[in-house]
Structure formats: C-alpha cells, structure tokens
Structure 1
Amino acid sequence: MKHFVTFLILLLLADFTFSQPAGKEKFSLHLSLISENGKIKTREYKSTDSSEIKSIIETEIATLHNKGFLLAYDSTFKKDHFTTCKIFAGCRYKAKTDSVFIKKDSLNTLFYSLFKNSKYYSYSATLRQKENLVKTFENTGYPFISVTCDSLIFDNQSIGFRYIIDKGPLILYDSISLHGDVLVKSKFLMRYLQLPSGTPYSEKNIQAIPRRLSQTGFLESSRSPDLWFGKDKARINIYLKKKKANKFEGIAGIIPPPNDSSKLSVTGEVTLYLVNTLHHADKFSLHWKKYDAEGQLLDAEFMYPYLFNFPAGMDLKFNLLKKDTSYINTLVKVGVPYFFSGNNFAGLKYEQKTTRVLTKTPSSSTANINLNSAGLYFYWNNFDRIMIPRKGLGIEAEVMTGKKEIKKPDGEKSNEDYFSQHLQMSYHFPVAKNFGIKTELQHGLLSGKTIFENELMRIGGYKTLRGFDEESMSVQRYVSGLVEFKAFFGEYSNTFLFFNAASYYKNISEKINDSPYGFGWGIEIETPAGVLSLMYALGKQFDNPIELRNSRVHISLVNAF
C-alpha cells in the first residue's frame, strides 16, 4: 500500500510537470481554407498557448457556419508543437424566404419574410430577425406573443424556417397608479410617458419610464414600475421620487472704482426658478439684474407643457430693461413649444418689442421703435443635474423675423424689415475621475436697414464675458466662447481656471470692432445654504493693458430645493 501511494504521488507530480507550458515554446498552425470550387487560401499562426491554436480553428469554423457554409468541417493533424489544419467550406446555403403562420389571427394566414435582408443563411441573422419580429408585436399591443419553430425547410442549397406565432390577446393601456410623495397630475404623466388610456401596449414605452421620468428634471423612479394585466387591459404602478429642481441664485459683482472715485461699485443679480408648482411640470422663472448705478433688468417667464394633454404647450415671457436715463425697453413673447423628449422642445414664437427714448436731447443713434416679429425657437439638453453639471450638452437657439416701425426725434416715421438670431451651446464632460471641462459658445445677430443703440444686444459680465462690467458692451453681432477647467473635491465643490473671449461688431454712430478676452480663477463650495461661488477675473479690451486694479470679483450663491 505504501509503495502504491508513493507511485501515485510521483505520477501526479509528473503529470503536473509535463502539463506546464514552456515559457519560450511556440506553437505553430498552418491553416488551409478550401472553398467549394477547390480554391485554397493559407494562413500561418504562432502562439505560446496551445489552447489559442484550438480556438483559432473553432472560430474559423463558426464564422463559416454563420455565413451559410453549414457543412464546413476541419481535418487536423498535430505533431509536437506544429498543427496542420484543412478546413473544407462546402456549399453555401441561401436563405429561403418562407412564410410565418400566425395562429388565431383574424386575417387567417399572414406572411412575413424572416430573411428579407439576407441573401445567404446566417444563424445570427435568424435570431436577430426572430427577435425583431417579437419586438414588433410587443410594441404594438401583444406582450404575450409566443414564437415557435414549426419546421426546417431544405430545398437544394436553400434553408428556411416556418414559425408559428401565437399573438395572444390585444392589450390596451387602462390607467396608471402613482406612488410616492410627489404631486403630479396622472393625466399629464400618462401623456408625457406615452401611455395614454386606450392605446396599444408597448414594451418599449414601459422600459423607457425611468429614463423619461429623469428627463423631467424634477422626478425620478424610486423603483422599477410593475404592471397588472386584466382582461385586455394593462394598469401600471409607477413609483416616484422628487429631485431637487427648484433653484435660487444670487450674484454680486464688485467693480473697482474709476480714476476719479474712491468708492467701489456693486452689481447684483437674483434668479428664482420654480418647477411643478401647478403639478403639471410647469416652470416659472423670475430674473432681476442691476448692472450699473441706474440700469436694471427684469425678466419673467412661465411655461405650461402638454396643454390639454397634447405634446404642445404655452410659453409666456415678459422683459423690461431700463438703461439709466437713456431709454426703456419692454418685450412680450408668446410661444407654442412642441415637446419631443423630456423638457426638450421646438416651437413657434411671436414677440412684440417696444423701446422708448427717455432723454429729451435728440440723437440720431436712438429712436422710438415698435417691433413685431415671429420665428422658431429650440431647446435641448441632457445635463446630468441642474446645478454644476459634470456631463451633458445643452443647446438654445432662436431665429426671428418681422417688421419694425421707427419714429425718429423729428417725428419722421418709417417701416423696415428686421431679422435676429441667437445661439447658446454648452458642453460638460469629464476628463478624469475628479476633473472636468466646461465649454460654451454664444452667438447673436441683429440685422436690418437701420439699427439703433437702444435696440442692441448687451454682453459682458458673469454669464456672457467674465472680466468685464455687467452688460457693458452693446453689440450688433457677436460670438463668444468659454473654456473652464474644473477640479472637483466634493459632489459640487470644485475649483476652476477659465478663459473666455469674444468678437463683436456694431455700426451706429461709428464702426466698432473688437475682440476682448478675459481669464481668471474661481472656487465653488457646497454649504448648508447652497453652493457658494467666488470668482476673480481680469479682462483686456481694445488696446488697454491688463491691470490688477481693473479686476472683477463675482460672488454668488446657488441653492437647489
């Protein structure tokens, strides 16, 4: 017995030793592919792993089978570390276009081609066509469809399958049941999620529920939806959780004193953004800005989506701008957005703008203007969160055309064509675990026979061109860009370096064309009150040198709730 155990141990050790791959040994494969007409293609392979040689042969056979060479086989000879393999492809089978019988269908027998896009038989194509067939029925009201292979059909060098399909009953949406502490109207949600009562069941729409809820910006799923099927009806339980979507933002800007003053100037800006106050995914925003001693801006907007449970909504906006004692502008906009995905929309817009000159001193650069215009506008974004997104793309665009009535100081009136366009794009993307980049592009254009100072666009400051006073540049057309490099040290907390530049033009009393730029550093810190931001910026305009005494400091607080 003792000798037997010793012999067994030695045998196992010997087997273990001889089964180890030699570190420098190489295995060779000479592969010959022989086609149906006898043509030969040869390939050479080398590997330090014998199992890889075997895998190469099996892969070649499987590839031929999937291309319709169903009878492909190999003849393999091994000697030491050298393998010779001949693979005979055989004949290639064509895909036979055959019928599919639908059981219990009101039209008796319907015919579907499983191979309408395939000239030759392919096993993977067969599975793909079968899956597509099942998905088609699942998304048109038949969630209980079953597909079984009835027979295999060979005809010379063709192969086909005959499937029997039992569609099951036609299922229609009945209602949804909402669970959670979020108040939102079920009629709106049924339309928004594309689950209106009485329409055919769609598996695709059920699977899309979590994604579409997240796209609202204020809702998300707390768990996957579940379904109850009754007689020809489907009821859906949806579990909701509120996301922080309301936002308050306050910004203060500190401007260094001019040469003849020792006092600092302070600018201010407040934004309030509220979502779902009427439980219909509605949005309300209020924006106020003080950009110099006597200049102020007030902006209010209300949007009500899915009006009467249709994808179209209502968009109302009011804007008031007062430029010290020079002029005052009012703007009223009415839009009809069509929602195609989440909060994203495209729509039609009408606006009426009035500008009135306040100064009594006549000037050829200003005039009283009444403007009526109409056009298209577009909004789309897929930001991962409302505050300080780390990834996503956002696009806002508007094109307007119309007529403006001009009344000059001397009482002369005239009518002219008017055209404007605006574009804003921002893109956030991560470059490492705690690092990211934000890029932004803005563009604006006003076009017409006569353009006056009091109808120009205004840029400069925290949101358009950092390193300069708020709304300090009046422009007829411009393009600006921003690059921001962020280093995160918390969910929202980060420090960043930035560079922004612009090119603008205007021709009122004289032609002005300049390319200002600014750069600086900032930090955003998450606090119990919100995200506190501090930014220091320098800018260069015209031929003026960069000076520290002309720096700009912006302080802001953003709170989502």
Structure 2
Amino acid sequence: MQKTSFLFFIIYILFSSELFCQNLYLKINGHTEFETDVIDSLNYLKAHKDYASIKHEADSVQKRLFKMGYIENGFKEIIKINDSSFKTQVHLKKKFNTIYIYYDKTEVKRSFLEVISKNVFDDYFELEFINIEKALNFINSKISEEGLPFSKLRLSNIKIKDNFNLSAHLIIESKKSKRVINNIIIKGYEKFPRSYLKHYLKIKPSQVFDLAKIENKTNQLTNLKFANEIKSPEVLFSKDSTTLYLYLEKAKSNSFDGFLGFGTNEETNKLDFDGYLNLNLTNNLNFGESFKLLYKSDENDQDTFQTDLTLPYLFNSPIGVDLQLQIFKKDSSFTTVNQSLKLHYQINPKHKLYAGLLFTESNNLLTEGTLSILDYKTQYYTLAYEYIKSQPYNLLFSIHSKLYLEANFGERKANNTQEKQSQFYMDAFKIFNLNRKNSLFLRLNGASLNSNTYFENELFRFGGINSIRGFEENSLFSSLFGLINTEYRYQLNNSIYIHSIIDAAYFENKILNTKEKLFGYGLGFGILTQAGLFKFNYANGKNENQKFKLSNSKIHLSLIANF
C-alpha cells in the first residue's frame, strides 16, 4: 500500500505542471509619487504566468495612458529584479485635457457634434481627450445611418495648441453616393406578407441603408404571432446595388381555447356546468389576417356567439379593417345583435388606433310586456386605442402588458324616441417581473354606459373566469362596473406555475338602483403540455355583506392549444 501511494506521488511530481508553475509579478512606477498614484489607479494586472503576459500588460497600460491624455508618456525597459519579480518605470510628462477638432460642415452635421460636445462652432468643436475614441465612433455610426456604411474617420495634422490642449483636423473618407436598399429577399418563409415589411417593420426598397436600424426593426417580429426571425439580417453589397436578406420562419399561430366550469346551484343545490369554445385562426392565407370564433354557454341559460375578422394593410396601404358580429341570447327574455366595422392604423408594432361604427339591435322575446326589456336600436361612432408589449422569451406569459381604451358616442332608438348615449370601456394588464420565477399580475377592467334611461337588455354583463372569478359566467348585469384581478405567480419551471387569486369589483345597476362590491379569492395553477396550456382555477366569490360559504366556490378549467 505504501509503495502504491509513493508511486502515485512520483507520477504527480513528474507530470503536474502546476506544482512547478510560479507567478511572475510586475510593478510599474512613475517618475514621481503623483505619477505612481495615477498608474496604480488603473488597477493594472500585477500577477502573470509568463514574461509575454508582462510585456502585453505594459503595452496595455501605455495605451490607456495615451487615451487619458498622457500622449508623451515614455516607458523604460522592463527589468528583472529576481526570479519572480519585474519592474519598469514610466514618465507620464504633460497631460493634455482638450482637443480642438476642425471639421468640414458639408461632411458632418452639426447636430451630430452637439450630442458629443458642449462647445460646437462653425468650423471646430471641443472634446475632452478621454472621449475622443467614443466620439469618433459615434460620428461614424451617424454617417453610416445616412447611407454611407463604408465611411472611415481619422484625425490628421495633430498639433500642440498650448500647454494643455491639442488641435487636429477631422478627415472623413467615404463614397459620395449613399447606399440604399435595392432588393429584399426573404429566406425560409418566402410567403411572408410583404405588406408587413413595408408598414409593420417599415423596411422597403429605396430606403437609406442602415443595418443597425434594420436589426432593431426586425426585432419587432417578436410581437407577431405568425413569424419568427431565425437569424440576424445579412447584406450583399455589389458595385451598384444593396441586397438585404431576412431569415424568417412561419410560426404556429392558431389557437383553440376552452374551459369547463362547474359549481353548486344555490336554488336547486344541483351541480351546474358551463363553458366556452374560442377558436383563433391567424395568417392561414399568408396575408396576416385573423379570424376568431367564440361560442359560450353558461349555467344561467345564456348563449353568446361572436365572430371577428381582421384584414390588415388593405391594398398594401397602412389601413386595415376589423369586422365583428356578436349575438347574445338570454334564455327566453331577449336577444341582442351587435355589428361593428372599424378601420385601424398600426402606428408601430406596439401601438394601434381604431375608428368605426357600432350597430346594435335588441328584441324582447317575452310574451308579456315589461318596462325593463324593450326593443331598441343603437348606432355609435367608435374611437379606440391599443397598446401591446410582448415578452416572447416566456412561454407561459408571452404578453407583458396590454392597454385597450374604447369610446362610443351615438344614440338609441326605442318606442319612437331617440336618446343620446355614450359608452366607455377599458381593459389593461401588466406583469411585474420580480425575478426569474416570481411575478405579480395586475389587471384593470371596466365599462360605463351613460344614458338618461336604461334597459335591462343593454346593460353590461360580467363575471366568471375572464372577469371576477368565483362568480357564474355573465351573471352580473350593470350600467357601470370596474374590477381588478391580481395574481402572485411562482414558476416552478418553464412549463408549470402556481398563483393566488384576489379579485375585487364594484358595479352599479341604474335600473335596480343598486351599488355593490364583490370579492373573489382562490388559488390556481397552469401547466404547459404538448396539447397546450392547461389552467385550473378554484375561487370563492362573495359580496361585501355576505359571509364566506364554501358552497359558493367555483372551479374553472381551460385549455389553450396552439396549432
């Protein structure tokens, strides 16, 4: 045993380079104590593995001193003190603080110079010596943005102006003709809608070439559901043309969303079921179009059927159209049909404006007359704004924040009378990412109907999994409501999360002359499976004067599948 241990020890000594490896140390002194303090402030590397590393560090220190303004500094020869220590001395000499750079105002815009210098004049500008490299890189990038990507900058005729300042001339070498995009070629997803290049990404032929701006624009593809960028754009320069290559792929953008809810009916003490189906089809015709189909049936014998069709960038213009049809039936009481036509303008990938018309017609189905449900027709003029910010890196929560505001102004016709009305609607949410696993979700939703008189069949309907949880779907009727949904979310991994449910709502019903506060509490979780995102919510709802009852709890199940 002792012989074996001794043998391993001999082998380690023979073959381990670390045992005989020693650190070499470098000390750089200044000509004076002040100069030594300046050099030490650079925090240069003192321990090295070989002499080549020592020589490289000395050269690096000298370059850093040049950039600080000590352009006349001189290093002496590196001297070996002993087997592990080396030293050298440097004389910093004079420090130059400012350089006066003369330029040709026909070659560089004064507005560029005013970003990097506080003192800009018609023929020269001043720079702190330490900022020269950064400033020249900035000027060069701005010239490249002007369509001159091969421009080169240098300082010429550098002279000593006085004891602490220098002067120089800015020389710009570039071709006089600007580079523009002559051709755009898409690889991978050749049928990508060209209208999105022009109006969404704002990339088009004859545009001044600027690769940095192009890369920034293609990053906006993360906001599109139907396309992904495979790799960064590339450019082919020829003598007379510039060809831009974009590498894209078509993404799964269709989704199917449904849920099943059940709870105990307070009147019959029996189990009631409710649910809905939500189908979204996006870009199946490679036009960027979207079609939505929603059917909802709940335990209150209410049925909702809704279709939405969005056609973006009609006739290759920046204007798109949104069409919607919604039919709502309340047991045997009434039906309401909503039809809307909106034109939208995409300001940029995050912001969108809407303007259009909304038509509503409602019919009383009751055989016996009632003052609260009447036949009526409305016509509104609609204005709306939408903001969406995505976070595509998160598979569970791909939308970071959203804001939708809508205002409707018009009149209602009923019983041969006309009455002015207005509606306001808001839906907003945001995710506050505390760290990689913890986040807070906050949503605000509300609507208001302003009128002199109100009918039951024109009131807003809310409640349920997409509203205040713990209540039956669309069981609450109001002329005004506001609600807040909050969730504390904890991600166990990239595909599983658990969350709390704390909801609150306030609503008014002008027909019944009631004002009420509601609360919902519960827990839930979500699992990203191969079939889609499965959600489970358990929530209990109550009003402010009601005691907590376990029988009021609701369980909501939903599945969002992408295909």
TM-score, normalised by the number of residues in structure 2: 0.77
Taking the aligned partners of 2:135 and 2:519, their CA distance within structure 1 comes to 57
* 1:268 correspondence with 2:275: yes
Does the 8 Å CA contact 1:518/1:539 hold for their aligned counterparts?
A: yes
Does the 8 Å CA contact 1:69/1:92 hold for their aligned counterparts?
A: no
> Given residue 541 of structure 1, which amino acid in structure 2 is its aligned partner?
N
The SS at the match of 2:150 is coil
Which residue of structure 1 lines up, in the alignment, with residue 520 of structure 2?
A: 518
Match of 1:135 among 141, 146, 152: 141
Which residue of structure 2 lines up, in the alignment, with residue 162 of structure 1?
A: 169
* 1:395 correspondence with 2:431: no
* 1:220 correspondence with 2:228: yes
Displacement of 1:231: 3.4
1:139-168 Cα offsets, whole Å, 9 max, x none, are 232222222223346656875542222332
Which residue of structure 1 lines up, in the alignment, with residue 118 of structure 2?
A: 118
Which residue of structure 2 lines up, in the alignment, with residue 339 of structure 1?
A: 346
Alignment of 1:124-523 (within 5 A): 125-152=131-158, 160-168=167-175, 169-180=177-188, 183-259=191-267, 261-342=268-349, 344-385=351-392, 388-389=396-397, 392-401=400-409, 403-407=410-414, 411=415, 413-508=416-511, 510-523=512-525
> Given residue 316 of structure 1, which amino acid in structure 2 is its aligned partner?
L
The SS at the match of 1:171 is coil
Taking the aligned partners of 1:312 and 1:342, their CA distance within structure 2 comes to 14
Taking the aligned partners of 1:306 and 1:418, their CA distance within structure 2 comes to 32
Change (3 A) 1:188 1:118: same
* 1:100 correspondence with 2:104: yes
Displacement of 1:292: 3.3
1:271-326 Cα offsets, whole Å, 9 max, x none, are 11111112122211111111235311112111122223333222111111112222
1:492-550 Cα offsets, whole Å, 9 max, x none, are 32222211111111211x32111100111122223332222222110112522221112
Taking the aligned partners of 1:487 and 1:142, their CA distance within structure 2 comes to 49
1:42-66 Cα offsets, whole Å, 9 max, x none, are xxxxxxxx999931899xxx99999
Taking the aligned partners of 2:112 and 2:395, their CA distance within structure 1 comes to 49
Does the 8 Å CA contact 2:307/2:325 hold for their aligned counterparts?
A: yes
| Range with greater deviation from structure 2 (238-247 or 381-390) | 381-390
The SS at the match of 1:451 is coil
Does the 8 Å CA contact 1:121/1:159 hold for their aligned counterparts?
A: no
Does the 8 Å CA contact 2:223/2:390 hold for their aligned counterparts?
A: no
1:343-387 Cα offsets, whole Å, 9 max, x none, are 641222321222222224333323333222223212222232496
Does the 8 Å CA contact 1:225/1:236 hold for their aligned counterparts?
A: yes
> Given residue 560 of structure 2, which amino acid in structure 1 is its aligned partner?
V
Does the 8 Å CA contact 2:343/2:356 hold for their aligned counterparts?
A: yes
Change (3 A) 1:349 1:52: farther
Taking the aligned partners of 2:66 and 2:481, their CA distance within structure 1 comes to 61
Which residue of structure 1 lines up, in the alignment, with residue 559 of structure 2?
A: 557
Does the 8 Å CA contact 2:96/2:129 hold for their aligned counterparts?
A: no
> Given residue 547 of structure 1, which amino acid in structure 2 is its aligned partner?
K
Does the 8 Å CA contact 1:66/1:121 hold for their aligned counterparts?
A: no
The SS at the match of 2:127 is coil
Which residue of structure 1 lines up, in the alignment, with residue 5 of structure 2?
A: none
Displacement of 1:469: 0.6
Taking the aligned partners of 1:159 and 1:466, their CA distance within structure 2 comes to 71
Q: Percent identity?
A: 20
CA-based RMSD: 3.7
* 1:54 correspondence with 2:40: yes
Which residue of structure 2 lines up, in the alignment, with residue 79 of structure 1?
A: none
Runs of 5+ consecutive residues of structure 1 not aligned to the other structure: 1-14, 20-30, 33-49, 73-86, 103-108
| Range with greater deviation from structure 2 (285-294 or 145-154) | 145-154
Taking the aligned partners of 2:441 and 2:275, their CA distance within structure 1 comes to 24
Which residue of structure 2 lines up, in the alignment, with residue 536 of structure 1?
A: 538
TM-score, normalised by the number of residues in structure 1: 0.77
Change (3 A) 1:122 1:279: same
